[in-house]
Amino acid sequence: MNYNFQFNVVWRNFDALLEGAWLTFQLGVFAFTAGLFVGLICAALKTYGPWPVRLLVNVYVVFITNTPALIQIYFLYFGLPDLGIRWSNEACVLIGLTLNAGAYLTMILRAGFLSVRTAEMEAGETLGMSLIQRIRYIVVPHIAKSIYPALANFFIVILVMGTSVGALIGVDELTGQAINLSSVNYRWLEYFTVTAGLYVVLTFVASLGLALVGRWAFRVRARIF
Amino acid sequence: MPHLAVSDVFAKYGKLEVLHGISFDVERGEVVSLVGPSGSGKSTVLRTLVGLTPVTGGHVDVDGTSIDYHSARAIKAARDRMAIVFQQFNLFQNMTVLRNVTLAPTKIKGRPKAEVEAEAIELLSLVGLADKRDAYPDELSGGQQQRVAIARALALKPEILLLDEVTSALDPELVNEVLDTVRRLAGEGMTMLLVSHEMSFVREVSNKVIFMDKGRVVESGPPGQIFDAPTSDRARDFFGKILRG
Ligand SMILES: Nc1ncnc2c1ncn2[C@@H]1O[C@H](COP(=O)(O)OP(=O)(O)OP(=O)(O)O)[C@@H](O)[C@H]1O
Ligand SMILES: [Mg+2]
């Protein structure tokens, strides 16, 4: 063990890593937010929809949650062009991650739909609220509060594990950028040490942000670690 | 013409028929109480009136006009005139007291926020909770929550208030604060249909008492008559157990 650490190379290219981290953050936030919409709609359909719709949602959820995210993104990036559908690598990562997050979030949010008290929903109904209004004013705040920690955890999963899949189809997010840079001068150990540190900072910042949002908007006392 | 006329109403939960032809009238400004053993269908009567449990026969008229329970729009219109408060878990847990009361008038009926809030605060004072406007339901006692639920129901200015055992989930010392609220509303001439096990209260506030058993009205009349001189064996038996047991 007489490896000679040289972090100078890494600091010289630190800007590029930061750019990668910023892209990772953007991808994570976008995929999570879009996935939240998909998940909310699917969970509502699964709870209140007619049976063919519920079946369709089940097929989507089972299909996505039982296949690796990498395969889904490869399918979009390498598979679809054969059908004449060509999307950029970033678009494929965004769409793939959104569909992926949407399926997992359907399952997470479904628990929230099921745990709303019937009496609250009936009270809403007799006060003249439509189903959509009840979802908006009763179910969503209930979910936000009761399963906020599960949602926040899932955001971290998407942010760290989800987005890094992009590296494999040439998206220069944090992992991709680290691979690019270290393959130029073979300082793998140094680059990946710093990259790991950046991921930790990223999740810490994200957790802190989520905890503050939770506390402020939903009266949730979330633990950060 | 009665304000509310329930005529030969049948209702089912799935295949199980629980109301087998219920009839009674409520006049404007009257307080009418439904009493009877557990499972006799009292809650179901209130639920069918606001369209939560489907009516499978008979009809309900408000001011002489029949409510078509097959039409979502007609049910909505009926809910504008009749408000219901359940036994428990009425309030929206994730909203403050004030928002619980103002949500439907502002967001559903589209009335101006300032005006609705002023009214809501008046209603909260009526139920003795003006100082709790910014509290969340889980910060209130059960009795306070029920009073907020009553205020919320009143915020939509219903003509008829339906109260389903609003005190039965409460500790004895909290019962009175809710009953006081109901008393006050009765004094103001609010038309009410209530289900209650508080017999002395029922006797005090009701103009008419309806005794139900097994999905049917067994007998009805002024409280004195029903409590002191019931004609049916079933009612005699029931009140005998409750009032003397
Ligand atoms: N959601 C439901 N599904 C199926 N059956 C129900 C449902 N709610 C009530 N029932 C049945 O309908 C009948 C009447 O019930 P209801 O709740 O109207 O009685 P109640 O007079 O209000 O009784 P209690 O005094 O105990 O509240 C009972 O036999 C009950 O088991
Ligand atoms: Mg009942």
Q: How large is the greatest C-alpha to C-alpha distance in chain B, in angstroms?
A: 55
Q: Mutation test of the interface with chain B: which of A122, A125, A127, choosing the one with the most B Cβ atoms within 10 A?
A: A127
Nearest to A97 by CA among A159, A153, A44, A152: A159
Residue to mutate (ligand 1; options B43, B164, B242; most atoms within 8 A of CB): B43
Give a yes or no: residue B217 inside a domain. yes
Of the two residues A19 and A219, the one the predictor is more confident about is A19
In this prediction, residue A213 has a pLDDT band, given cuts at 50, 70 and 90, of confident
Task: Please report, rounded to a whole number, the percentage of residues in chain B having pLDDT higher than 90.
Answer: 70
Most confident of the following: A160-164, A170-174, B39-43, B175-179: B39-43
pLDDT in tens, A138-158: 999 888 888 888 888 899 999
Query: From the CB of residue B1, how many other CB atoms can be counted at a distance below 10 Å?
Result: 10
Residues of B in contact with A124 (CB under 8 A): 92
CA distance linking residue A173 with residue A185, whole number of Å: 19
Give a yes or no: residue B75 inside a domain. yes
Residue A221 pLDDT greater than 70, yes or no: no
Residue B243 is predicted with a pLDDT of 65
- Establish how many alpha carbons lie within 13 A of residue B71's alpha carbon, considering only the half-sphere containing its beta carbon: 7
Nearest to A225 by CA among A213, A198, A201, A207: A207
Nearest to A61 by CA among A24, A111, A25, A26: A111
**Atom 29 of ligand 1, residue of closest alpha carbon:** B39
Query: From the CB of residue B31, how many other CB atoms can be counted at a distance below 10 Å?
Result: 25
Residue A225 is predicted with a pLDDT of 47
Number of domains in chain B: 1
CA distance linking residue A163 with residue A171, whole number of Å: 9
ipTM given for this complex: 0.88
CA distance linking residue B163 with residue B34, whole number of Å: 10
User: What residues flank ligand 1, with Cβ below 6 Å?
Assistant: B 13, 16, 18, 36, 38-44
**Atom 14 of ligand 1, residue of closest alpha carbon:** B41
Residue B62 pLDDT greater than 70, yes or no: yes
Bridge partners for B66 per DSSP = B61
Q: What is the CATH number of the domain that holds B224?
A: 3.40.50.300
pLDDT in tens, B88-128: 878 999 899 999 999 999 998 899 999 999 999 999 998 88
Give a yes or no: residue B205 inside a domain. yes
Min CA distance, A115 vs chain B (Å)?
A: 13
pLDDT in tens, A172-212: 888 888 888 888 888 888 888 889 999 999 999 988 888 88
Alpha helices for B14-168 (secondary structure H)? 42-49, 72-81, 97-103, 113-126, 142-155
Min CA distance, A217 vs chain B (Å)?
A: 10
Enclosing domain of residue B183: 4-91+156-235
Task: Supply angle C-alpha B63, B31, B128, rounded to 5.
Answer: 115
In this prediction, residue A63 has a pLDDT band, given cuts at 50, 70 and 90, of very high
> Which residue in chain B has the smallest CA separation from A122?
B52
Domains, chain A, ordered by start: 8-218 (1.10.3720.10)
Give a yes or no: residue B135 inside a domain. no
Give a yes or no: residue B168 inside a domain. yes
**Atom 6 of ligand 1, residue of closest alpha carbon:** B13
Q: Which of B92, B94, B108 sits opposite A128 (nearest CB)?
A: B108
Give a yes or no: residue B105 inside a domain. no
Give a yes or no: residue B228 inside a domain. yes
